[in-house]
Copies of this chain bind each other. A is one copy, B any other.
Amino acid sequence: MGTIVTLVTDFGNRSPYSAALKGVILGVNPGANVVDLTHEIPPQDLRHAAYYLLQALPYYPAGTVHVVVVDPGVGSARAILLIELKGRHLVVPDNGCWSWLDHFHGPATTVRRLTEERYWRNQVSSTFHGRDIFAPVAGWLSRGVAAECFGPPTQEWVRLPLPACEIGASEVVGEVMFIDDFGNVITSIPESAVPARATVQHGKESVTRRLEAYADGQAGELGYLISSSGFLEITAAYGNAARRLSARVGDTVHVLAE
């Protein structure tokens, strides 16, 4: 198998954009092992992308090329970055979508700006850099072209604000960082800040039952646990906690020791 090239986009699966991207990569390197991670990042949702990358990319082996196209600023002056981070390469728009990964699993070894147009498609559309710049660069990277060929290093790039989390003496105040497809509500509060016995508050709801696993709760009962990502998570056994709580990303969550 060839070099692994993964894709994360917000293109959706009814539109031809992800297919065009893959075609260009395979046109440059028919031996690439192209792996779709998702094309269903909610449109232009940088925080969603940031959490997704943080939780998915660290599991890939060194040498992987990761392409991320969640790019509301396409065609503007925003840069495109080629990042080396723990032995992998990332090709991303300079909008901060990768900065949580950098903070929690980095730091990056080198960050470059793509400038060498000879690795781009001949014609570059101002609305589809994914196809015309990101994809061919990923193809050439996967064929072994060295990172320094694509552009010069830079020390400046956009950072997305980190998820809020204030750890006080008697209280921790965090926020909803992500809601998964099961309706689990993942907060910004790390395991180390969660007391052994705690009350977790979201809006008017107080959750006091600590679970070890989803199946430990009564059906529909709200509980909290430490998620597989190491953060405090509110769940409803065999149910949808986010719907129960009307929770949204960014909502405040309080944790009080009992």
Contacts and interface: CB of A to CB of B under 8 A. Distances in A.
Number of this chain's copies in the complex: 3
B14 A48 contact: yes
Interface of A: 1-2, 4, 6, 8, 10-20, 22-24, 26-27, 30-44, 48, 51-61, 63-64, 72-76, 78, 125-128, 131-132, 180-182, 212-216, 225, 227-228, 233, 238
Contacts of A238: 44, 72
Contacts of A10: 181-182
A60 B4 contact: no
Contact of A74 (B13, B75, B132, B214): B214
A16 B51 contact: yes
A59 B131 contact: yes
Given A214-B72, A214-B74, A127 B225 contact: yes
Given A212-B75, A213-B76, A14 B26 contact: no
B59 A27 contact: yes
A12 B212 contact: no
Contact of A12 (B51, B57, B180, B233): B180
Contacts of A75: 212-216
A69 to B, nearest CB: 12
A189 B27 CA distance: 28
A228 B42 contact: no
Most buried by B among A12, A40, A125, A228: A228
A8 B16 CA distance: 10
Nearest to A212: B126
